[in-house]
C-alpha cells in the first residue's frame, strides 16, 4: 500500500509540548502498533498522521510525498475511531457506502466494494439494519468496513476496541488479525494502551512515553530484550519483577542480589564498566519456577496466592525490606501462604539494567 516516514516530528499546543521529535519509518504492508500509557502522545501522533492535527515541525511523508499541508481527505488514509462514528439514521450498507458516494463513485462500484467488505467482516446479514440494532462488536466491524471500501493507502485505528467488553474485545481483535492476513499489502497503524492487543496484532510495536519513542521492535524482541526499565515493565503482565542489585565483578557474568544476598549469573556485556555500581535486576513472573534443588535465584515468604485455574500468581516477600515479587506458577502447584519458597530461573531469562535504566544484556 504505502510507506510512511516521520522525521523529527514535533507537536505543541502553545508552550505545551506533546511530541518531542519522532523519527519513524513504517514499511508498506506493515502492521505497526503505537502503545504506551495514557498521555504518552500515541493518539496525537496518529491524528497528526491522519491530518486531524497540524504538525508543529518536522516532516511526514507517504511514499515520499510530503504530507504536512495536505488535507486529510487527500492523504489516502482511512481512520477507525473508538466511538464507531456511525450515522444512526443510515443502514449498515449506507454507512459503509457513504464515503464512496461523497467521492462520486459509480453505484455499481460502490455496491461491489460494500458487499466485498461485508463478506470479509461477516456483515452480509446486517446490511439493512440500523446501528442501534447492532452489538458493539458489530458496530465496530461496520466502522472497519467503511474504511475498507475506500481502499485507502493507510488504515489508522485509534483504540478501536476500548469501548467493548472483554469477550467482544477478544473476538474483534481476532477479526482484525484475520483482516490483516486477508489484506497483506495494507499498511495499518493501530493505537492502543492494551499491551495484549499490541503483542497479538503487531508486526512491530512502537513504545511511547512522554511524547518520545522508548523502543521499536517486534513483539518478541520487546518482550525478550527490552531496551530499558520502562519497556521491561510496560510489556508483559504481570509486570517484570525488578530488584536492586550490584555488579560484583567487571566484565563477568556475576552480580550480587542485594536483598537476598544471592550471587546470580547474568550475561552482562563484556565491555560494561559498572563494577561495584548499583543496578536493577529483572525477572519476568512466568520465567520463575520452584527451585528443584539448592540452586535458586530468590527466596522469600509466600504472602498471597491468586488461583487462576491453569496458573496461579504467587506473591512472595523477599529480603529485609520485604519487597514483593510475583511468580506465575502452574495452577496445580501446592503453594501455602506463609511458607518459604525458593524460586529459580534460567540465566538467559534474567535481565539487568544500569542506574539510568538502560539494558546491560548482550
Question: What are the residue boundaries of the structural domains of the chain, listed by start?
Answer: 4-234, 241-353
Architecture of domain 4-234: 3-Layer(aba) Sandwich (3.40)
Beta bridge partners of 22: 9
What distance in Å separates the CA atoms of residue 58 and residue 11, rounded to the nearest whole number?
Answer: 9
Residues 6+ apart with CB under 8 A from 180: 31, 186, 188, 201
Looking at residue 285, its pLDDT comes to 97
pLDDT of residue 262: 64
DSSP string, 86-149: --TTS-HHHHHHHHHHHTT--HHHHHHHHHHHHHHTT-GGGTTS-GGGS-HHHHHHHHHHHHHH
Q: What is the pLDDT of residue 119?
A: 87
Q: Are strands 77-80 and 241-247 parallel, antiparallel or unpaired?
A: unpaired
What phi, psi does 217 have (nearest 5°)? 180, 175
CA separation for the pair 26, 6 (Å, rounded): 9
Alpha-carbon separation of residue 193 from 28, 262, 297 (angstroms): 24, 36, 32
Task: Evaluate whether the domain defined by 241-353 bears CATH number 2.40.50.140.
Answer: yes
Instruction: Report the C-alpha gap between 334 and 353 in whole angstroms.
Output: 33
* Sequence-ordered list of residues with C-beta below 8 angstroms from that of 57, at least 6 positions apart, any chain: 8, 9, 10
Shared fold status for 4-234 and 241-353: no
C-alpha span between 117 and 141 (Å, rounded): 10
Find all residues with CB under 8 Å of 247, minimum gap 6, and list them.
255, 256, 268, 272, 274, 275, 276, 277, 279
Residue 283 near residue 300 (C-beta atoms within 8 A) = no
Pairing state between β 204-209 and 31-35:
parallel
Nearest to 162, CA basis, from 134, 201, 193: 193
The rounded distance, in Å, linking the Cα atoms of 322 and 256 is 18
Backbone dihedral region for residue 351 (phi beyond 0: left; psi -120 to 50: alpha; all else: beta): beta
Return the pLDDT at 85. Answer: 82
Residue 270: predicted pLDDT: 47
Which stretches of the chain drop beneath a pLDDT of 50? 270
Distances (CA, A) of 21 to 54, 57, 69: 14, 8, 18
Q: What is the pLDDT of residue 269?
A: 57
Q: What burial letters (b/e) apply to 270-309, b meaning 16+ CB within 10 Å? A: eebebeeeebbbbbbbbbbbbbeeeebbbbbebeebeeee
Distance between CA atoms of residues 249 and 229, nearest Å: 22
Q: Which residue has the cell 510530503?
A: 66
Look at residue 253 in the predicted model and tell me its pLDDT.
53
Q: Which residue has the cell 539494567?
A: 353
Amino acid at each position: 500500500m504505502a510507506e510512511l516516514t516521520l522525521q523529527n516530528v514535533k507537536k505543541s499546543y502553545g508552550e505545551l509540548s506533546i511530541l518531542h521529535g519522532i523519527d519513524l519509518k513504517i514499511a508498506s504492508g506493515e502492521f505497526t502498533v503505537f502503545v504506551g500509557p495514557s498521555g504518552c502522545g500515541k493518539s496525537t501522533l496518529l491524528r497528526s498522521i491522519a491530518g486531524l492535527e497540524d504538525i508543529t515541525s518536522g516532516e511526514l511523508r507517504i511514499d515520499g510525498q510530503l504530507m504536512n499541508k495536505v488535507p486529510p481527505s487527500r492523504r489516502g488514509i482511512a481512520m477507525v475511531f473508538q466511538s464507531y462514528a456511525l450515522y444512526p439514521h443510515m443502514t449498515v450498507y449506507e454507512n459503509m457506502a457513504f464515503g464512496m458516494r461523497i467521492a462520486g463513485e459509480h453505484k455499481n462500484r460502490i455496491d461491489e466494494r460494500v458487499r466485498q467488505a461485508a463478506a470479509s467482516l461477516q456483515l452480509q446479514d446486517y446490511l439493512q439494519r440500523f446501528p442501534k440494532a447492532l452489538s458493539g462488536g458489530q458496530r465496530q466491524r461496520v466502522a472497519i468496513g467503511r474504511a475498507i471500501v475506500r481502499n485507502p493507502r493507510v488504515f489508522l485505528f485509534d483504540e478501536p476496541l476500548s469501548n467493548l467488553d472483554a469477550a467482544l474485545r477478544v473476538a474483534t481483535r481476532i477479526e482484525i488479525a484475520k483482516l490483516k492476513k486477508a489484506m497483506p499489502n495494507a499498511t495499518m497503524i493501530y493505537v492502543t494502551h492494551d499491551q495484549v492487543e499490541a503483542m497479538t496484532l503487531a508486526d512491530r510495536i512502537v513504545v511511547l512515553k512522554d511524547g518520545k519513542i522508548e523502543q521499536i521492535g517486534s513483539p518478541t524482541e520487546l518482550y525478550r530484550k527490552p531496551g530499558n526499565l520502562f519497556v521491561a515493565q510496560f510489556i508483559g503482565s504481570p509486570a517484570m519483577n525488578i530488584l536492586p542489585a550490584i555488579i560484583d565483578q567487571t566484565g563477568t557474568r556475576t552480580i550480587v542480589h542485594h536483598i537476598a544476598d544471592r550471587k546470580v549469573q547474568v550475561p552482562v556485556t563484556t565491555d560494561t564498566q559498572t563494577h561495584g555500581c548499583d543496578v536493577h535486576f529483572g525477572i519476568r513472573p512466568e520465567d520463575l519456577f520452584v527451585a528443584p534443588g539448592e540452586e535458586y535465584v530468590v527466596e522469600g515468604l509466600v504472602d498471597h496466592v491468586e488461583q487462576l485455574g491453569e496458573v496461579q500468581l504467587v506473591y512472595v516477600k523477599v529480603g529485609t525490606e520485604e519487597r514483593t515479587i510475583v511468580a506465575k506458577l502452574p495452577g496445580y502447584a501446592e503453594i501455602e501462604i506463609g511458607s518459604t519458597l525458593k524460586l529459580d530461573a534460567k540465566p538467559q531469562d534474567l535481565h539487568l539494567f544500569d542506574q539510568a535504566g538502560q539494558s546491560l544484556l548482550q
